[in-house]
């Protein structure tokens, strides 16, 4: 007699959530996930986290999962090597801020937290006060705060142009999408949009606000987007070309 899917998952509750595969001199962690709808083993590289995920079908075995991952070890290593190099929020690192390169400068004896200024050579600086261990957190908090500020203004402007009611704006570190809209009128965005040029952020605000009119991606939806953001195709093209690169900033590698 066959067991229901729920019983299959309970039976495997003690199996590990992570395995490793070796390729040349590198040991690569691989996260295991079971999916009730999966029909075969699949591998996926998460560019935002540089993580490797192996999806197992409900009746798949751990031994088969290991064999599958090991057979594809070279593919995994190649894909990981092609990902952009991580750029931690550290003294001397250069990161984009509203589309313009800014060099992080740690000023331990200065007052304040984080601010921008022009250097003697004309380069834009992102200055960080306080102790060295707090630099990364302070930069992250500053960028998230600025993203919330810009996205709130842009979202209110877009909602006003569309004649819809905006309930709230939320800013998080979304890795799978740049923005989302709930049926209750809450717009959520990735804080990393503050790294992109302003016209990209404005487009995302228009995109999500338009969902308050059309909760789909129909032609009617895109007409609403174009009405308040005529240059939206330029922003979409920028995200297609450079969006994945934004996830490397603040990563430790």
Chain segment 92-123, per-residue pLDDT in tens: 999 999 999 999 999 999 988 999 999 998 99
| Model pLDDT, residue 85 | 86
Q: How confident is the model at residue 252 (pLDDT cuts 50, 70, 90)?
A: low
Contacts of 97 (CB under 8 A, 6+ apart): 116, 124, 126, 143, 146, 194, 195
Q: Which residues contact 64 (CB under 8 A, 6 or more apart)?
A: 41
Specify the pLDDT at position 173: 85
What is the CATH topology of the domain spanning 134-248? Zincin-like (3.30.2010)
Per-residue pLDDT, 4: 55
Q: Is the pLDDT of residue 10 over 80?
A: no
pLDDT above 90 as % of the chain: 77
Q: Give the pLDDT confidence score for residue 6 in this predicted structure.
A: 54
pLDDT score for 13: 59
Q: Which one has a higher pLDDT value, 25 or 47?
A: 25
**Mean pLDDT of the 68-75 span:** 95
Q: Say yes or no to pLDDT of 50 above 90.
A: no
Q: Indicate the Cα dihedral angle 148, 151, 157, 160, nearest 10°.
A: -80
Which residue ranges does the chain devote to CATH 3.30.2010.10? 134-248
* pTM (global) more than 0.85: no
Residues 67-95, mean pLDDT to the nearest whole number:
93
Quote the pLDDT of residue 210. Answer: 97
Confidence (pLDDT) at 12: 56
- Report the share of the chain in percent with pLDDT over 70: 94
pLDDT tens column, 130-157 = 999 999 999 999 999 999 999 999 999 9
The sheet with strand 42-46 has its strands ordered as 18-23, 26-34, 51-56, 42-46
């Amino acid at each position: 007699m066959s067991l229901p899917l729920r019983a299959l998952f309970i039976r495997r509750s003690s199996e590990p959530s992570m395995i490793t595969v070796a390729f040349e001199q590198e040991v690569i962690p691989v996260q295991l996930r079971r999916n009730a709808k999966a029909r075969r083993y699949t591998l996926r590289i998460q560019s935002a986290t540089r993580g490797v995920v192996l999806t197992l079908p409900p009746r798949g075995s751990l031994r088969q999962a290991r064999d599958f991952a090991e057979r594809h070890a070279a593919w995994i290593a190649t894909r990981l090597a092609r990902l952009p190099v991580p750029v931690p929020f550290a003294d001397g690192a250069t990161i984009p801020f509203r589309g313009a390169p800014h060099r992080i400068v740690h000023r331990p004896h200065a007052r304040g937290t984080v601010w921008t200024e022009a250097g003697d050579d004309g380069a834009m600086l992102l200055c960080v006060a306080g102790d060295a261990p707090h630099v990364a957190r302070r930069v992250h908090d500053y960028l998230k705060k600025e993203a919330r500020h810009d996205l709130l203004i842009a979202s209110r402007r877009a909602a006003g142009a569309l004649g819809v009611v905006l309930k709230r704006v939320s800013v998080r570190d979304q890795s799978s999408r740049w923005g989302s809209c709930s049926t209750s009128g809450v717009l959520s965005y990735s804080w990393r949009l503050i790294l992109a040029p302003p016209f990209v952020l404005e487009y995302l605000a228009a995109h999500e606000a338009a969902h308050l009119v059309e909760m789909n991606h129909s032609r009617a939806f895109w007409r609403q987007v174009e009405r308040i953001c005529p240059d939206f195709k330029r922003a979409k093209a920028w995200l297609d070309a450079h969006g994945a690169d934004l996830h490397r900033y603040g990563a430790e590698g």
